Amino acid sequence: MGGAVTAHLHIDSTSLVHRLPAHAKLLGLLALVLTVVAIPAGAWGPLAGAVILGAAVLASTRVPARHTLPRLLVDVPFVVFALALPFLARGEEIALGPLRLSAAGLVAGGTLLAKATTGALAGVAFAVTTRPQDLVLALQRLRVPDPLVLIVSFMVRYLSVVGDDLARMRVALVSRGFRPRSPAAWPVLAASAGALFIRTYERGERVHLAMVSRGYAGHLPAVEAPVTEPAHWATALLPTGCALLLLLWAVAP
């Protein structure tokens, strides 16, 4: 279990990013995102630099674009919202051809677009270079509370199982002539979602009972931690150092 998830997220390669310990990459990703978020709105030079930095991080994975570009679709909701802000925000307006756009909305939308794109690029770089099971081990290494680690672990293991259940339900609906083409189909979709939730909840109860019967007492078994060299930390935190320089550029008088 979890193999299907691995096939959809992780891409095998021999790049330096692939060889970094997962917990170092995770801390590096969080530090990079927090630093980019701290860049002030409207600092277009540093924001453009942050996007270029995110693209460089993704390029360093040496994963072909045919694998990374579909994963960047996660950024689409932020792009749509950023494009809508100049039309939705209030305040001083500027004319752009036949359109009148909010000046504050343009600044907010551009800032959101740059920061979200940088985060998406870095997040995809982490996803394609880190196996899901390594993510779970990284959370343990970083002393994340066991209940949270268990939630992530079960999500990794059983996401493909739930996906298979959903696919079978979809086939069953289609074979009975169901076509969701209007709001009249919403009750059927809601009932299907409810049935899937109940089935997943019951599976979780059975798994928990099986774990308890085998001696589980609320604590995960200790896992031998991989050796992390100072060079690993330096490489993982290098993008954050570059982002700090961009932040200093943005706040400099």
Flag whether pLDDT at 229 surpasses 90: no
**Cβ atoms within 10 Å, residue 147:** 9
pLDDT of residue 59: 94
Flag whether pLDDT at 21 surpasses 80: yes
Count Cα neighbours of 117 within 13 Å in the Cβ-side half-sphere: 20
Flag whether 2 is in a domain.
no
Average pLDDT score over residue span 6-28: 83
128 lies in the same domain as 36 = yes
75 lies in the same domain as 147 = no
Q: Are 128 and 148 in contact (CB under 8 A)?
A: no
22 lies in the same domain as 67 = yes
Tell me the pLDDT band of 224, cut-offs 50, 70 and 90. low
pLDDT of residue 246: 96
Flag whether 181 is in a domain.
yes
Q: In sequence order, what DSSP letters do the residues of the chain get, joined into one string?
A: --HHHHHHH------HHHHS-HHHHHHHHHHHHHHHHTSPTT-HHHHHHHHHHHHHHHHTTT--HHHHHHHGGGGHHHHHHHHHHHHH--S-EEEETTEEEEHHHHHHHHHHHHHHHHHHHHHHHHHHHS-HHHHHHHHHHTT--HHHHHHHHHHHHHHHHHHHHHHHHHHHHHHTT----SGGGHHHHHHHHHHHHHHHHHHHHHHHHHHHHTT--S-PPP-PPPP--HHHHHHHHHHHHHHHHHHHHHH--
163 lies in the same domain as 107 = no
Q: How far apart are CA 195 and CA 189, in angstroms?
A: 10
Flag whether 4 is in a domain.
no
Flag whether 78 is in a domain.
yes
Flag whether 219 is in a domain.
no
pLDDT of residue 4: 44
Flag whether pLDDT at 1 surpasses 50: no
pLDDT tens digits for 205-219? 898 899 888 887 777
132 lies in the same domain as 149 = no
21 lies in the same domain as 126 = yes
Structural Rg of the chain based on CA atoms: 22
For residue 249, what are the CA distances in angstroms to 34, 54, 244? Answer: 16, 17, 9
92 lies in the same domain as 193 = no
Flag whether 15 is in a domain.
yes
pLDDT of residue 223: 65
pLDDT tens digits for 78-104? 999 998 888 888 878 787 777 778 888
Number of domains in the chain: 2
68 lies in the same domain as 124 = yes
181 lies in the same domain as 123 = no
pLDDT of residue 110: 93
pLDDT tens digits for 151-196? 888 887 787 788 888 889 999 988 988 888 888 888 888 999 999 9
Q: Which two tokens stand for residue 97?
A: 């051809």
Flag whether pLDDT at 2 surpasses 50: no
Flag whether 66 is in a domain.
yes
Q: Name the residue with higher pLDDT: 245 or 5.
A: 245
Flag whether pLDDT at 7 surpasses 60: no
Range of the domain at 99: 10-137+227-251
132 lies in the same domain as 236 = yes
78 lies in the same domain as 56 = yes
- The one-letter amino acid code at 134 reads D
207 lies in the same domain as 83 = no
pLDDT tens digits for 130-147? 988 888 888 888 888 888
pLDDT tens digits for 102-121? 888 889 999 999 999 999 99
Flag whether 218 is in a domain.
no
